[in-house]
């Protein structure tokens, strides 16, 4: 009996120690509790995927005082935000900008009011605190294209060091890779994997695709999904660069602070107006203001401040400080979600997550299915294989090891009942077919001069028919995959994509799939390019290659809105890279 008691005590002690080690550090609370100064050297607007990076890096210079303003609250207000598998149900409006597109003619026909949902993070860490955590850099050809268009210093060989600076690789097979590094704030890991993870790769091999590291030399082929997760917890920029970082006395973070306008005097940004706790505030800036509000918020703030298309601002009575194409060139990946049930219990379903054992594993050891985002496979492919190694891919497939049961896409109920799964006991997986470089270009404009009014967002999906054709080719690859031995052994069934709302067309004909695409495909939530980077003589550019707003001193933009063109794949990681590079340029006086 004494031996048994000793064993129990040791086991309980081990569990307690492990539990304590795995809890989130509650660091840097002083940064959020300070009285704000009247003046700062640098003011960063938006604590998202890039803004948290910029503020953290700038504050490494102790001689400068940095203010980080965030419209949302702290990530610890929602424990679910840290649990990887719960990303799909992070629907709390207080942590989201609940944006919707304007009604679309060529897309979203199965959505309520023909409007697509575009959630953006309104919380410390921004969208990196609510996204799917797939870690993707983009194709090297993406960045070389930026450089070729006049964005000196943005070629792949230039930006690679910033990807490496941000990364902490936790994948054994890439430990010695020159394309990966250890010690950075954002952990890159495979995390927990189901048996489906290997099946995705086997299916790709059957079709002749190579197995590759899509964050390496190139993207063409099939890969295990890489994830921004550290020790079972979401690795967001808010947590890693701000919350868990070394305390800095010169960094102040003001949450629940909605920036309404940049104060511009004689073509120079000199301060920021914001609202907090129902009161108006103003802080002055000695050196630079960096706008990192994201692809939607950054152009809205600039236009409210008098930087944007002259005709548009004049119509709203906003004095124009710089006539620039702000809000133009909106780009976003289009996505079609396809599903199939399987006959083996190897996916993640409510029964798996409801298991007391799996809940125990996560709570005390940060292991098990709760530590994954479910995005366990990724494939990039060229529709014309003669272009492999010569340019970026056309299509991205993401393999998700669960069936979606929640209507997260603003779908009309009658369509949602067919697209989503109601049986909690069912096992299966989903494949998202995504365009990597859509031809349809949208825009963002102000709805009014009220900063609380959401802007008008028009993605213009499928206004260019080539995007429909590209998506259709991606669907055909999905069909080929479903015919492989690897998937057939799981009992996959293409009838799971048989929808009554497109029954006027022959099942799986071109017209059938085009119908499905126009009805239920959605945004991939990868909005970019509304404050486009380019040379100062480029009439389509808003910022120069140093991210300085053209024609305005002391003002930069650093987030996904500066992308000249959207990158191939998930955009969070290249946005972090932009934050790293922006801070480096500012600190080096560029």
Annotated active-site positions, please?
526
Alpha helical stretches, state H, 151-231 = 156-166, 196-206
CA 192 to mean position of chain CA atoms: 21
Q: Which helix (H) or strand (E) holds 334?
A: strand 334-341
Terminal-to-terminal C-alpha distance of the chain: 71
Alpha helical stretches, state H, 420-521 = 465-482, 485-488, 510-520
Q: Which two tokens stand for residue 508?
A: 């799986």
User: Cα-atom radius of gyration of the chain, to the nearest Å?
Assistant: 24
CA contacts within 13 A on the Cβ side of 97: 29
Backbone angles phi, psi at 319, to 5 degrees: -60, 135
Q: In whole angstroms, what is the distance from residue 563 CA to residue 558 CA?
A: 10
Q: In whole angstroms, what is the distance from residue 452 CA to residue 258 CA?
A: 9
Q: In whole angstroms, what is the distance from residue 187 CA to residue 193 CA?
A: 16
Q: Which helix (H) or strand (E) holds 42?
A: strand 39-45
Residue 159 makes CB contacts below 8 A (sequence gap 6+) with 143, 577, 581
Q: In whole angstroms, what is the distance from residue 42 CA to residue 64 CA?
A: 8
CA–CA distance from 375 to each of 280, 304, 339, 494 (Å)? 43, 38, 14, 21
Find tokens 């009011």 and name the residue.
113
- Is 247 exposed, middle or buried, given 0-12, 13-18 or 19+ CB atoms closer than 10 A? exposed
Q: In whole angstroms, what is the distance from residue 511 CA to residue 523 CA?
A: 21
How many CB atoms within 10 Å of residue 545? 22
């Amino acid at each position: 009996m004494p031996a048994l008691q000793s064993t129990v005590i040791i086991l309980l002690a081990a569990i307690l120690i492990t539990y304590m080690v795995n809890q989130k550090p509650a660091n840097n609370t002083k940064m959020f509790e300070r009285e704000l100064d009247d003046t700062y050297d640098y003011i960063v607007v938006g604590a998202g995927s890039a803004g948290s990076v910029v503020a953290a890096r700038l504050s490494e210079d102790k001689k400068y005082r940095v203010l980080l303003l965030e419209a949302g609250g702290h990530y610890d207000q929602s424990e679910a935000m840290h649990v990887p598998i719960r990303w799909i149900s992070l629907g709390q409006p207080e942590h989201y900008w609940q944006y919707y597109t304007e009604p679309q003619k060529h897309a979203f026909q199965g959505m309520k009011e023909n409007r697509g949902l575009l959630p953006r993070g309104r919380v410390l860490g921004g969208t990196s605190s609510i996204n799917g955590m797939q870690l993707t850099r983009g194709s090297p050809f993406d960045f070389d294209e930026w450089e070729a268009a006049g964005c000196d210093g943005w070629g792949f060989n230039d930006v690679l060091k910033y990807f490496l600076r941000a990364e902490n690789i936790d994948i054994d097979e890439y430990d010695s890779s020159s394309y990966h590094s250890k010690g950075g704030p954002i952990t890159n890991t495979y995390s927990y994997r189901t048996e489906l993870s290997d099946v995705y790769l086997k299916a790709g091999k059957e079709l002749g695709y190579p197995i590759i590291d899509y964050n390496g030399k190139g993207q063409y082929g099939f890969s295990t999904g890489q994830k921004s997760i550290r020790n079972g917890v979401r690795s967001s920029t808010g947590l890693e660069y701000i919350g868990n970082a070394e305390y800095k006395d010169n960094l102040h973070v003001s949450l629940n602070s909605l920036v309404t306008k940049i104060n511009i005097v004689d073509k120079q940004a000199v301060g920021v107006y914001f609202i907090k706790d129902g009161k108006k505030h103003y802080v002055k800036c000695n050196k630079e203001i960096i706008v990192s509000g994201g692809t939607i918020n950054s152009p809205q703030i600039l236009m409210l401040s008098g930087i944007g298309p002259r005709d548009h601002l004049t119509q709203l009575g906003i004095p124009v400080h710089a006539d620039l194409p702000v809000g133009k060139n909106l780009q976003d990946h289009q996505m079609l979600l396809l599903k199939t049930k399987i006959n083996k219990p190897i996916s993640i379903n409510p029964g798996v997550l409801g298991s007391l054992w799996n809940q125990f594993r996560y709570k005390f050891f940060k292991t098990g299915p709760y530590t994954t985002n479910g995005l366990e496979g990724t494939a990039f492919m060229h529709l014309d294989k003669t272009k492999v190694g010569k340019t970026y891919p056309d299509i991205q497939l993401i393999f998700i090891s669960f069936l979606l049961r929640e209507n997260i896409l603003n779908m009309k109920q009658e369509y949602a009942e067919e697209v989503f799964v109601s049986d909690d006991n069912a096992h299966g997986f989903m494949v998202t077919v995504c365009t990597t470089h859509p031809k349809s270009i949208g825009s963002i404009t102000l709805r009014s001069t009220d900063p609380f009014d959401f802007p008008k967002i028009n993605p213009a999906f499928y206004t260019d028919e080539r995007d429909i054709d590209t998506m259709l080719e991606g669907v055909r690859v999905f069909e080929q995959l479903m015919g492989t031995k690897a998937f057939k052994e799981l009992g996959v069934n293409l009838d799971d994509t048989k929808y009554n709302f497109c029954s006027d067309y022959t099942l799986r004909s071109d017209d059938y799939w085009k119908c499905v695409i126009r009805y239920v495909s959605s945004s991939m939530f990868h909005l970019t390019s509304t404050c486009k980077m380019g040379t100062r003589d480029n009439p389509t550019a808003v910022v120069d290659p140093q991210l300085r707003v053209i024609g305005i001193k002391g003002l930069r933009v650093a987030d996904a809105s500066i992308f000249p063109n959207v990158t191939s794949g998930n955009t969070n990681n290249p946005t972090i890279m932009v934050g790293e590079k922006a801070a480096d340029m500012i600190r080096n006086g560029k």
